[in-house]
Structure 1
Amino acid sequence: MILTSKTVKMRLVEESDAEFIVGLRVDEKYNKHLSAVTGDVEAQVNWIRRYKADEADKLQFYFIIERLDGTRCGTVRIYDIVGDSFCWGSWILNEEKTKYAALESAFLVYEFGFEELKLSKSHFDVRKENEKVISFHKKMGAVKTGETDLDELFEISKNSVLETKQRLSSKLL
C-alpha cells in the first residue's frame, strides 16, 4: 500500500526500515518530544515483526514517509482505533523532507483514516512544550479536548480536515 501526495509518499514499514527508524528515534534533533528508545536495531526489527500481526488485524499501521524519489524522510503511525476515531503519532520528519512534507503527510494520514478505515475523526496528544506541532494541528482545525500533566489532547473531524485541505489546495496540487 502506497499513499501519494505532491512531493511525498507513505508506505507500510518493513523490517529493512529498522535501522532508519532507530536512527531517527535516537537523534536528539528529532526525539525531544518522543518516548525514549534503546537504540537497538534488533529490538526494532523484533518490534516490527510483532507489529505486522497488528497491521494484519487492522489494529495499527506504521508508515515510512518518503520523497517521491524514494529517499526516506520520516515515520508516522496510526493506532488506538476506537469507535469512529483513530489516533496518530510517532510522526518524525528529518532534514531530507520536502518543503510541504509535514502538511502532505498529515493529509495522507487523514486520507487513510477517513477513506481507507472509514472513520470520521481523529484523536491525538501532543507534548505541551511542542508548541510548533500544537500550532500546526490547531491550524489544521484540531480542537483541544483536554490535557494531562505532559500532553494537550486534541480531536479533529473529517469535515475540518476537508475544509482545511480545500483552503490549502494550492500548496497540495
Structure 2
Amino acid sequence: MRHDLVIEGYGYRLRPVGDQDAALVVALRSNPELNRFLHASSASIDDQLAWLAQYYQRAGDYYFVLERTDNGQAEGVIAVYDIDAASASGEWGRWILQPGSMAAVESARLIYQCAFEHLHMQAVYCRTVADNAKVVSFHDSCGISTRRTLAAHFTLGGKAYDAVEHRVSAAEWPELNQRLSKLSQMMQRRRKHG
C-alpha cells in the first residue's frame, strides 16, 4: 500500500518503495546468489512496475527500501505484510540485502520497530525456508524464543520445503530492541572503521 513511513536507524533507514525502485528490486530478485530460496519472479522491470501497482492497492502491506543514512545508497528491501487487523499480527519478509551489506541486524530491528512502534502490532512473525540455514541461524541468534516448523509450507520450483517461523510479541519487543540496538551500533562502528 502507499504509505509515508520513514524509519531512521543508526546507519540505515527504511523508506517507502516506489516505481523508481523497480530496477533495484529486479536486480536483487534476479541475483542467483540471493534468489535460491525465493519464489520465482520476472526479470522484467515492466512486470515489477505492474506488481508495484497492485501492491499500492493492498491494505496491510508496507514495503520498504533499506538505504544508508550517510549517502542514501539502497542496500536492500524488506516488508511487513498480511497484517490481520483482528489479531494485530502480521508477517515480515521480502527481505533481500545486497551481497556484502552490513545491514542485516539493523534492517531486522527497523522492521520490528515499524511493526511495534508505528503500526502498533501485537505480534510479528517471519517464515524462512528451513534449508536456508544462514537466515534461520540469523533469526535464532537474535534470541527469538518462539520458533516452530511448518511442514511443506513453501513450494519453490515445484518442490515443497518446510518453513521455520520465528514469532515476536509486543511484550518481547523492548528486550529484543535492546539486543538488536547494541548489535546495530557495533556493526555501524565496524562499517565506519572498515
TM-score (norm 2): 0.80
Shift of 1:142: 4.5
RMSD between aligned residues: 1.6
Q: Decide whether the 8 Å contact of 2:91 with 2:124 is kept in 1.
A: yes
Q: Deviations over 1:53-109 (max 9, x none)?
A: 22xx4x101100111111110001111112221101110010362x3x111111110
Match of 2:148 among 115, 135, 145: 145
1:35 equivalent in structure 2: 39
| Deviation digits for residues 119-149 of structure 1 (CA, Å, limit 9, x no counterpart) | 1111221001111111121222142233122
CA distance in structure 1 between the partners assigned to 2:68 and 2:100 by the alignment: 8
- Any gaps of 5 or more consecutive residues in structure 2? 153-160, 186-194
Q: 1:136 aligns with which of 135, 138, 150?
A: 138
SS at match of 1:165: helix
| Identity rate, percent | 30
* Residue type of the alignment partner of 1:137: H
Question: Which residue, out of 113, 116, 119, partners 2:118?
Answer: 116
**Which secondary structure state, in structure 1, belongs to the residue aligned with residue 10 of structure 2?**
coil
Which aligned segments of 4 or more residues in structure 1 are displaced greater than 4 angstroms?
none
Q: TM-score under structure 1 normalisation?
A: 0.89
Partner SS state of residue 36, structure 2: coil
* Cα separation, 2, equivalents of 1:116 and 1:20: 26
Q: Distance in 2 between matches of 1:143 and 1:164?
A: 12
2:170 is matched with which residue?
158
Provide structure 1 residue ranges, at least 5 long, that are not aligned to the other structure.
none
Change in CA separation of 1:96 and 1:13 when aligned onto 2, cut-off 3 Å: farther
SS in 1 for 2:171: helix
**How many equivalent pairs are there?**
168
For residue 92 of structure 1, give the secondary structure of its aligned residue in structure 2: strand
- Offset from partner CA, 1:7-44 (integer Å, 9 cap, x none): 11110110010011001001001111111112111010
